[in-house]
Structure 1
């Protein structure tokens, strides 16, 4: 199986559009289409349903995605077994368009001589296991340091504020700023919440603390469909990180409203194995020195 095609499939699944996957992988959109078409031919199934605004995973695509991630992780382990002295720094991020990916791009701009390999593992447990076994050098995750295995360390590198994302007909759309308690009674749709993931635990505690109605029901067809639904609905909104890169067609009049008093923040930590001697890891840690925490923020109890 062509692992470049598998890597392209995972990037397209994460991005929701072939064009965005091409940007993330620094290849052309035509190359993305050819690789995925070749992979579909190899597997004998359709992995995506193409639409005018993006690409949605089919049932077969959903079934293949976790195995595709495992294939890429196995590749990283194989490379690490023979290139430990010369290999690129392998770093895991939750998503290539989230705030931690922006941090990693900032490191790359500051240290262009450091070779990077970027992965997107399924959840924090998989990321911690990959750090522990050495197949990943570092990972950006929201974790409780006290629950990490011996030899694995973590430090907070980004408190990312959350914002409310609404369409123009939503009753909160014209607000310049909102308090969390003002969201009570409004439906917040987040179909990307999956059982066991660290972000699911975060939003569960947030909902309990402020009486929010966070709805994770319904199939997750990707960012494009989520944005379209919110743009057209007067009674549906979602929560997004302030650093996430979102783009939508001009016809979708979406609004991002800051949340304050307190500001909910998603606590991104960098995790690594204490005995990892990769020289670029020390440079990454030095680049990501955390700043002071603001006093008027909310974070989950397990984040410290």
Structure 2
């Protein structure tokens, strides 16, 4: 159904005259008559009857009028949903408690007038596909793993280096340490269920293991962070890596310890990805905000994989 004819019908019904409807729509009175006639032919009914003062809707016109108004409202909402600057900025983060989500919360506090849709996708291939299709505007990822370069239409910038802590239970041999050199973790069992091969975080830990001779176990099902914390708290032989800016909550009785890792400090290189042709103005605002943010930039000697995007 031609929305111009529907809009003309509503304008004529409200004005009661084709001439006034024509003035409102900035068209000729003849154009209004032709549009109404075309709509009547499409619907197979008469929509107006002429009166000495102009026109008024017929019974069929009165029945159609509320539906015509709703058609126009739906059309206006559809246009507004994709109009640049009118729809929310859609950004992907890996998890709600991640450092990436913290960056977005900081951005939202700094720019509360910008609408945000936060989504959580699993891997970088899914995220890149969503960026290229327009499903999302941006994604936080670590790039670029060996042999998996980004497509040329995807831009990326490194925005946060997140230091890793060793998370232990109260009975672990390193629970009382103020810090631990990375090389001293060789021989300790580090448990990280969910490090799925093919993901960017699995590639990161594979390189960490290879360079420093660590033992990282990804065995067992991944029941989420709560189950991981329960196991670490109850198992003195196990520890895990946790991002220093990852927000976690656990029962007071767990007695978990965050131990900084040093000499060098392994940092996870969070990057922002977006499509080079994306015109959303809030995307530029997000990039500018991240460029000026200094929190979370690790100091001292650090380690990242050779494939990580450089600053």
1:298 and 2:297 correspond: no
1:35-92 alpha-carbon deviations (Å, 9 max, x no partner): xxxxxxxxxxxxxxxxxxxxxxxxxxxxxxxxxxxxxxxxxxxx89952432100000
Following TM superposition, by how much is the alpha carbon of 1:295 offset from its aligned partner in structure 2, in angstroms?
5.2
The corresponding residue for 2:130 is 130
In 2, the alpha carbon distance for the partners of 1:82 and 1:278 equals: 12
Counterpart in 2 of 1:182? 184
Which consecutive residues of structure 1, in runs of 5 or more, have no partner in the other structure?
Answer: 1-78
Contact residue 162 and residue 263 of structure 1 kept, 8 A: yes
**Displacement of 1:250:** 1.2
Residue of structure 2 equivalent to 1:62: none
> Whose radius of gyration is greater, 1 or 2?
2
Q: 1:287 aligns with which of 267, 277, 289?
A: 289
C-alpha separation in 2, matches of 1:96 and 1:221 = 16
Deviation at 1:99, TM superposition (A): 0.5
- After TM superposition, the score normalised by the length of structure 2 is 0.70
Report the counterpart of residue 107 of structure 2 in structure 1.
107
1:203 to 183, 196, 205: 205
Counterpart in the other structure of 2:117: 117
RMSD (Å) for aligned C-alpha atoms: 1.8
Instruction: Give 1:1-40 correspondences, 5 Å limit.
Output: none
Q: Mapping of 1:36-51 within 5 angstroms? A: none
* Other structure's SS at 2:233 match: helix
Aligned 1:259-278 pairs, distance under 5 A: 259-278=261-280
TM-score normalized by the length of structure 1 = 0.71
- CA distance in 1 between counterparts of 2:277 and 2:82 reads 17
Q: Does 1:98 align with 2:103?
A: no
**Which residue does 1:256 correspond to in 2?**
258
Partners of 2:156 and 2:272 within 8 A in 1 = yes
4+ residue runs over 6 A deviation: none
Instruction: Give the direction of change, closer, same or farther, for the CA distance of 1:80–1:103 in structure 2 (3 Å limit).
Output: farther
Query: Match of 2:307, SS?
Result: helix
Distance 1:84 1:123 in 2: 29
Residue among 212, 215, 225 paired with 2:214:
212
Following the alignment from structure 1 to structure 2, what is the Cα–Cα distance between the partners of residues 281 and 240?
29
SS of the equivalent of 2:97 reads coil
Question: How many correspondences in the alignment?
Answer: 226
Contact map agreement 2:162 2:245 (CA 8 A) in 1: yes
Distance 1:271 1:80, change over 3 A: farther
Unaligned residue ranges in structure 2 (runs of 5+): 1-77
Distance apart, 1:221 and its partner CA: 1.1
